Amino acid sequence: MASTSQHRTEDGERPRPAPVEYGAAVDRYLAAAGLGGSSRRVYRISLLGWTWPLVDLRTPTGPERRSARPPLAPLALLDHPQAAERLRQGLADRATRVEPRTLARELACLRAAATWWQALGWITADPTAELALPAPQPRPGPEPTPLWAAADPSAAAVGPGRAHAALALQAPLRELALWHLLHESGASVERVLALDIDRLDLPGRRTKASTAPPLRWGSNAARLLPMLLVGRTAGPVFVTDRRAPAATSATDRCPLTGRGRLSYRRAAELFTAATRPLDPAGRGWTLLVLRERTPRSRTPRCCS
């Protein structure tokens, strides 16, 4: 059951007691995240959408959802023995009715919020820990030829279209943020994975002036990074899915979640696995592909 946290905040004051209602916990989380108005609205819609599965109801979709009022639900439902299964069923249902990117964003929002609530002691366990996005269902009919594809498959394996193809993949929020940051900054993988949150100037799309040489990024990374970091203000930018071993140094551990800094090896494994279907040889590509530049003429206007 949710309880009053016994931890102290960074300024040494005791936090307020845990809210009883899930919607109130959402508001408290968003207030602490310091999001802009539009991002706050998107996050609130995503988080409140999980209220329906928690009470064994189907989440409305489309215009029906915009006018629907979420049911009242206690925050303690996240500690219910059936919470994970209810959320899994809700995830499976949403997968049949929304785009994969929407579903990935909604799950990422809930995971970030649950981590924050658990760190405060408002819930005792994270019911999202074992949730996974369902595999995308194939669409009927022939697949269109991708814009990045070359007439000669071997040319696609070596040309600048590889970066464009990889960045168009459906992938978890962390991977998308990392891939776009690597592509837009042109920085080495080691340097990007070594970044800490307090060294970022998110509004300026760059690292802070004290970081030399400065690292800059573009619009896609600028859109994804705040979503990835919501609720976290210190520690590594890119962290693992699970808590770090006890021997992990404090500099490589998130002080809020306890998760460790993402390693080059794991990041490379995930990218190679994700790009295997794109590789004519079937082996997948390395992260160095993301440093290839796509010619402007090959970027559709609607996507620029």
What is the DSSP annotation of 43-109? Answer: HHHHHHTTHHHHTT-PPP-THHHHHPPPPP-BGGGGGSTTHHHHHHHHHHHHHTTS-HHHHHHHHHH
Query: Mean pLDDT over residues 244-272, rounded?
Result: 92
Q: Mean pLDDT across the chain, nearest whole number?
A: 80
Residue bearing the bigger pLDDT, 196 or 150 = 196
pLDDT digits (tens, 9 = 90+) for 114-148: 888 988 899 998 898 888 877 655 444 444 433 33
Q: What is the pLDDT of residue 62?
A: 74
Residue 50 has pLDDT above 80, yes or no: yes
Residue 9 has pLDDT above 70, yes or no: no
Contacts 24+ apart (CB under 8 A), 101-104: 101/170, 103/133, 104/133, 104/170, 104/171, 104/172, 104/173
Residue 154 has pLDDT above 50, yes or no: no
pLDDT digits (tens, 9 = 90+) for 87-119: 999 999 988 888 887 888 888 889 888 888 988
pLDDT digits (tens, 9 = 90+) for 56-73: 998 888 777 767 888 999
CA distance 87 to 154: 43
* Predicted structure pTM score: 0.56
Q: What is the pLDDT of residue 298?
A: 38
